[in-house]
Amino acid sequence: MQPLIEKSSEYLRQWIERNGVDRREVARVVEGVDVSARREVPALPDGQEPEIFIPGLTASAWWDSGRFPWLAELEASTADITREFLAAGGFGGGGVVSQPSELTDQGRWTALYLYCIGKAYSRNLDLCPATTRALGAVPGVTAADGGMCYFSIMEPRTHVSAHTGYTNAHLRCHLGLVVPGECRLRVGGEVREWEQGKAFVFDDSFEHEAWNDAESGRAVLLFDLWHPDLTDVEVRALAHMMGVWRKLLARSFWSAEMARS
């Protein structure tokens, strides 16, 4: 990803000028993109290692649910969301795709995508209107602005090895849908178990790993939201940059494919 980041500062400068934004209002976004490109990120809390680091944001592996009053409404929608997940294919549907194999050292981790880095999966969204409505009530969801939103599926006896997310500008929410027990997530130095109908928020720029030690599958609704410390104009800048990074990533992928052909 490093070559993509190196090109980012110019894209951000162009956006600032084109939109007449006061550079001071997005100073920490500019600083974050620049220091990330130069690999000059300051010392961070143990276990935090984002590719894109935005300075000045509260750093906490796990977030207090009391910060997010919308969690209760989301949890109240669990039955409808679960029903749509199963109707859309559930654990064995044709729309389910494998997650990066290098992260799964045991078992299988898959996803039924609603959004991937901002790209909408229209067919799956059409099958999940209640899920879409529930997400629409969550302030700061990044799904259409370059974030992730999908049904995350872990098959029985699966371990997703330790990894870190792309940026600390996002937080991540999990809502337990199908939880057979013996399923847990470590973020930083703390391990928590998923519960059916319960949601929690964490910072995936901290190292995290997951286990499903049960004999049946586990499914959660996973989505990103903007870090609550960000201002509206910072969110606008970062939403633009997420689109840039997605395009650069696609361009890099196809260039590599052509070089191999």
Tell me the average pLDDT across 137-142: 94
In this predicted structure, the answer to whether residue 111 has a pLDDT above a threshold of 70 is: yes
**CA dist 230 → 27, 28, 138, 140, 237 (Å):** 12, 10, 16, 10, 10
Q: How confident is the model at residue 253, as a pLDDT? A: 36
Confidence grade of residue 250 (pLDDT, cut at 50, 70, 90): low
* Least trusted range by pLDDT, from 39-48, 114-123, 167-176: 39-48
Contact of 44 with 203, CB cutoff 8 Å: no
Q: How far apart are CA 152 and CA 99, in angstroms?
A: 9
Instruction: State the pLDDT at residue 3.
Output: 52
Does the pLDDT of residue 261 top 80, yes or no? no
pTM: 0.91
Domain span(s) for CATH 2.60.120.330 in the chain = 62-226
CB 158 within 8 A of CB 212: yes
Highest mean pLDDT: which range of 105-109, 191-195, 248-252: 191-195
Query: Residue range 6-18: average pLDDT?
Result: 91
Quote the DSSP letter at residue 29: H
Q: How high is the pLDDT of residue 40? A: 82
Residue type for 198, please?
Answer: K
Residue range 62-226, CATH number: 2.60.120.330
